[in-house]
Amino acid sequence: MRLLSQREHSRAELERKLAKYEEEPGSLARALDELAAKDFISEARVVQSVVHQRASRLGAARVRQELMHKGIRPEAVAEAVAELHASEFDRAREVWRRRFGNPPRDAADRARQVRFMLARGFAGAVVARVLRQASDENFDEGGSQDLDE
């Protein structure tokens, strides 16, 4: 119960954490069945919790990875990730803006920004679009890029 009071846990997570304390075979499964029957553990709440906590900072690929690690059914993971794809560009742009705010100065800086965004689980095409838009906005605002050079 202490584990459940801290955050939402999936059945698979609880099985992993509590297996070492199981005294008689099958008792853990019965206890988890009872918790599920009383709605103390819910896969839907775990998915909702992870998406709510992590989606603003991570891309769909990283959210998918975390949900799979928690033992969520692939169908539920696919459904949650499909909803995230609609807002992937906006979330990636916000993460990039908070972390960098300025377009890359050179190829090394661009590579660093791309690695950061990819590590956060954003798709390569989305990252390229975010950086392209940032460069275009900087150019339009009369940034450091000059046509006379």
Q: Which two tokens stand for residue 137?
A: 């906005």
Cα dihedral value 62, 57, 71, 123, nearest 10: -20
pLDDT in tens, 109-149: 999 999 999 999 999 999 999 999 988 876 555 444 443 33
State the pLDDT at residue 27: 85
pLDDT in tens, 80-103: 999 999 999 999 999 999 999 999
- Which residues 6+ apart lie within 8 Å of 12 measured at CB? 70, 71, 72
pLDDT in tens, 33-84: 888 888 888 889 999 999 999 999 999 999 999 999 999 999 999 999 999 9
Are residues 59 and 39 in contact, defined by beta-carbon separation less than 8 angstroms?
Answer: no
Would you say residue 132 lies in a domain? yes
Domain extent for 12: 2-85
Q: Are residues 22 and 75 in the same domain?
A: yes
Q: Which two tokens stand for residue 97?
A: 């803006």
State the pLDDT at residue 58: 96
Q: Are residues 79 and 128 in the same domain?
A: no
Q: How many residues does the chain have?
A: 149
Give rounded-to-5 percent helix, strand, coil for the chain: 70, 0, 30
Q: Are residues 68 and 93 in the same domain?
A: no
Q: Are residues 93 and 54 in the same domain?
A: no
State the pLDDT at residue 149: 35
Q: Are residues 55 and 67 in the same domain?
A: yes
Q: Are residues 95 and 111 in the same domain?
A: yes
CA separation, residue 127 to residues 19, 30, 101, 110, 149 (Å): 41, 46, 14, 11, 27
pLDDT band for position 24 (cuts 50, 70, 90): confident
Are residues 37 and 25 in contact, defined by beta-carbon separation less than 8 angstroms?
Answer: no
Q: Are residues 59 and 101 in the same domain?
A: no
d(CA 141, CA 149): 17
Would you say residue 149 lies in a domain? no
Q: Are residues 38 and 25 in the same domain?
A: yes
For the chain, how many helices (H) and strands (E)?
A: 9, 0
